[in-house]
């Protein structure tokens, strides 16, 4: 009887999650915050019970995570409009136009691509008024979608979702392999694979963090096997999908030593340069660097420590000092990364990932903009460590969607406080009590 009850409970949890994903994916826009957060909470609580349950075997957990992704495969992204820019960039490339050379605002009346007006209107004024900030491998995937779906936004999004989904499957398989190499329980990969934030923001909302993390994970995997040149190639692909892994490069130095590090970094730099060559123009560096810099001095969303510094700036200067703080943050972030990569011990893969996780977390804490899908980067790294604070953040970060429910796009100070109270609380606790365990690895 108890077995039947446990089995019944498992089915109920799967059904609750299934319904939550269907409703979130096809019926709930991001501005319906109360319904959004309620359904996300149901999915997250169900995920926790499913993960902890002894009822499910590993292949069943994999099937459940795959099923939830398939549920979201056939809807247009529902909490993000970034994918319209993805499709725009891909179609530009197939038309022989570099997405780094022109602002959508400047070419909307002459651009020779299908559904240009629809894509332009849907991507939003913020995206339309800036050059593309997506690196070459990302652009390659956008072009693939444009090739197979040159006249349909839905099918272009479907092709991109397939790419993201297969990357997630790759993370599952190679994540298990790396966990075994690190003598860790392979089941912990399901903290990533079953996590609602991962399922919704990647397969659902079509963010390419998963693709970048897949390449980065392969880089870690081959680095652990001492195949560091192959590792360098996959890390190159990771950086050319999203630039974030650049921040983790110093963490490989101690393990490689000076001579191998020079070659390792040279391979990564050279191949990244090669990937940009098809887009080379006299304005490429200026346009791309201008777009990247905007993230530090123009945009503000769901920040933590930055908002504290901003309020101090208001008190001292009487105006928003983002222009000043945004220039200081990269410098402080680099110093933090150098401290954790060069001063801390990074002679084992466990320490490389653990110290990289902490340094990257501090970088996010200092940042002016933290979209929910950014936390997925920390979540995957945490799978290979003793730290669990990114798991808590993967739930509370969804509180940031409250701002979209306000006509003036106004964030809630109370919800921000709740989010970061839990995140910082667990972070500080684990940093104090779990760092010793990781250092013994």
pLDDT digits (tens, 9 = 90+) for 258-282: 999 999 999 999 999 999 999 998 8
Percent of the chain having pLDDT more than 70?
96
The predicted-structure confidence for 298-329, as pLDDT tens digits, reads as follows: 789 999 999 999 999 888 888 888 888 888 99
d(CA 137, CA 274): 11
pLDDT along the chain (441 residues), means of 10: 57 95 96 97 97 91 96 95 97 96 95 96 93 96 97 98 98 98 97 98 98 98 96 98 97 95 96 94 85 75 94 86 86 96 95 97 96 98 97 98 94 97 97 65 46
Tell me what pLDDT residue 414 has: 97
- DSSP states along 390-421: HHHHHHHGGGGGGGGGSTT----HHHHHHHHH
Own/partner long-range contacts of 274-279 (Cβ < 8 Å, ≥24 apart): 275/135, 275/136, 275/137, 275/236, 275/240, 276/135, 276/136, 278/136, 279/98, 279/99, 279/100, 279/101, 279/136, 279/139
Percentage, residues of the chain above pLDDT 90: 85
Average pLDDT, the chain: 93
């Amino acid at each position: 009887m108890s077995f039947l009850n446990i089995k019944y409970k498992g089915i109920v949890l799967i059904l609750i999650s299934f319904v939550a994903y269907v409703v979130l994916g096809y019926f709930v826009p991001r501005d319906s915050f109360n319904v959004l957060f309620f359904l996300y909470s149901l999915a997250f609580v169900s995920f926790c019970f499913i993960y902890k349950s002894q009822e499910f075997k590993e292949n069943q957990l994999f099937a459940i995570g795959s099923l939830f992704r398939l549920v979201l495969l056939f809807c247009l992204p529902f909490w993000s409009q970034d994918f319209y820019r993805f499709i725009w960039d891909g179609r530009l490339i197939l038309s022989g136009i570099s997405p780094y050379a022109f602002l959508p605002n400047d070419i909307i009346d002459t651009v020779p691509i299908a559904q240009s007006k629809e894509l332009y209107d849907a991507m939003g004024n913020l995206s339309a008024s800036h050059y593309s900030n997506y690196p070459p491998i990302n652009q390659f995937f956008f072009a693939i979608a444009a090739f197979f779906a040159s006249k349909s936004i839905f099918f272009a999004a479907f092709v991109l979702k397939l790419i993201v989904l297969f990357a997630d499957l790759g993370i599952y398989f190679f994540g298990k392999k790396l966990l075994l190499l690190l003598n860790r329980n392979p089941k912990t990969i399901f903290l990533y694979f079953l996590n609602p934030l991962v399922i919704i923001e990647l397969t659902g909302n079509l963010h390419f963090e998963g693709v970048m993390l897949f390449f980065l994970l392969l880089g870690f995997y081959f680095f652990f096997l001492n195949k560091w040149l192959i590792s360098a190639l996959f890390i190159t692909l990771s950086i050319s999908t999203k630039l974030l892994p650049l921040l983790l490069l110093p963490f490989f130095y101690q393990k490689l030593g000076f001579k191998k590090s020079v070659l390792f970094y040279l391979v990564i730099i050279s191949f990244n340069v090669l990937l940009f060559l098809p887009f080379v123009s006299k304005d490429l560096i200026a346009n791309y660097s201008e777009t990247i810099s905007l993230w530090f001095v123009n945009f503000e969303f769901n920040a933590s420590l930055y908002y504290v510094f901003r309020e101090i700036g208001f008190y001292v200067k009487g105006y928003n000092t983002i222009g000043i703080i945004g220039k200081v943050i990269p410098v402080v972030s680099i110093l933090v990364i150098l401290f954790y990569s060069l001063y801390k011990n990074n002679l084992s893969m466990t320490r490389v990932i653990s110290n990289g996780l902490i340094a990257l977390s501090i970088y996010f804490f200092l940042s002016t903009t933290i979209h929910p899908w950014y936390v997925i980067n920390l979540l995957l790294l945490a799978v290979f460590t003793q730290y669990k604070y990114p798991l808590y953040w993967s739930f509370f970060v969804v509180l940031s969607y409250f701002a979209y429910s306000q006509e003036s796009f106004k964030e809630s100070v109370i919800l921000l406080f709740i989010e970061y109270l839990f995140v910082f609380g667990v972070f500080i606790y684990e940093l104090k009590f779990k760092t010793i365990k990781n250092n013994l690895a």
